[in-house]
Amino acid sequence: MSSNNLADFRDQYIARARALLQGVDLAQATTNIMVINGALFGALDKVINAPLIGRDTLALFDAMTSADIDVWLADASHRSVWQRLCSDESKTIQVALQDDVLRPKLLGSALAWTDILASSVMQTWIQTKAAYLVPYIAAIPGCLTLTASNRTTMDKFASVQAAMTLIYASTNWLTAIAANAPAQDAIGASLTALRELGKSGPGMTALYTKLTSIMVYLFADATASIDAWNFVSSEITAGRTVMPTAFFADAGIRTSLHGNTGITTALTTTATALYQWLFTNKMTVLSRSYNANTAQQSAGIGGKFLTLAMAGTYNSGAGNFYLTSTTSQFAATPNGSTSPTLTTANKQVGSQNGAMYFNDVSTGIFYMSIGYLAI
């Protein structure tokens, strides 16, 4: 037998033994022939029912290819033994996955890796070895696709910071994530993964053109988005504006800005370049004048928007005069005669839902300018 596949041996043995046994004329057989063929019958039964995969025979995989392993596991009896091995003898599989010879064979076998992913015991181990496994999985396309399409497994990877750092630096992983919704959902549900995405230049750059859903998850999370927006700001500082332009052109990402304290924190504290770029390139300015009185008056903007800057003056009247939103009050400067010109010094970052108002305790003419991003 030229094949290294013991399943071939078993099948050939069964065929040959059956032919020999079927050729025996028991009525004419001598005692010796009866004994010999009885032993052959017993051996045939053992070969038919013997599991070819077990703790003591896993080393036989050394002589096989991944394709050979798939052939073995295509046999229902072998598959059930392998599945039990993944659960009941998981330490054996764990050792095999850390062996330089066996690991690529198991990762390259679709059936073997499918059953490893289906084992809750192995899932726990995968989480402890996530960073170790990331580069090996990335090197085998079929294994990578199976992994990225398995939500439970991706949840494990998404919970390990070191693993996500490696994943976001791997083109193969990013491509697989882009093609598999379970992987995207796992990343979107993990603050650890989102934070790593925000910190990783390769991850941000590779994913933002492909995975709007992940970006929406990322920028909707206040804590994670602080790192992300600061990274975008650093891109602008470096003279690269493709990324921020794409972000603010995306309706889903713009919607995620509303009520997002992450971007509010970033724009008001650290993301200076991003604020300057938005102020110069993306801000809409509304300049209006009103005859004010003690009743609230609509300032003429409704709906959801992100306020970037706000300034106001009044040229008559007395008392306190305020422009009021749902998040802040802006005290106007007295003695103005025209709508003020907004500068970055008028920074007033915050979300607004609905109309803005102004009111005072007297009467007069109120001039205001509001810079905002429509959401």
Q: In angstroms, rounded to a whole number, what is the distance separating the alpha carbons of residues 100 and 95?
A: 10
Buried b (16+ CB within 10 A) or exposed e, 248-267: bebeebbebbbbbebbbbbb
Which helix (H) or strand (E) is 322 found in, with range?
strand 321-324
CA 171, chain centre distance (Å) = 14
pTM of the model: 0.66
Q: What is the pLDDT of residue 100?
A: 92
pLDDT along the chain (375 residues), means of 10: 58 85 86 87 78 61 89 87 84 89 94 95 95 97 97 96 92 88 86 81 71 77 85 91 86 85 91 96 87 62 83 66 56 74 89 70 73 87
Q: Are 348 and 310 in contact (CB under 8 A)?
A: yes
Q: What is the pLDDT of residue 368?
A: 80
Pairing label, strands 304-314, 333-334: parallel
> If phi over 0 gives left and psi between -120 and 50 gives alpha, with beta otherwise, what is residue 141?
alpha
Q: In angstroms, rounded to a whole number, what is the distance separating the alpha carbons of residues 44 and 51?
A: 13
First to last CA, the chain: 71
pLDDT tens-digit profile of 85-139? 888 778 888 988 999 989 999 999 999 999 999 999 999 999 999 999 999 999 9
- Name the nearest CA neighbour of 9 among 75, 104, 66: 75
Which helix (H) or strand (E) is 138 found in, with range?
helix 130-138
Q: What is the pLDDT of residue 187?
A: 86
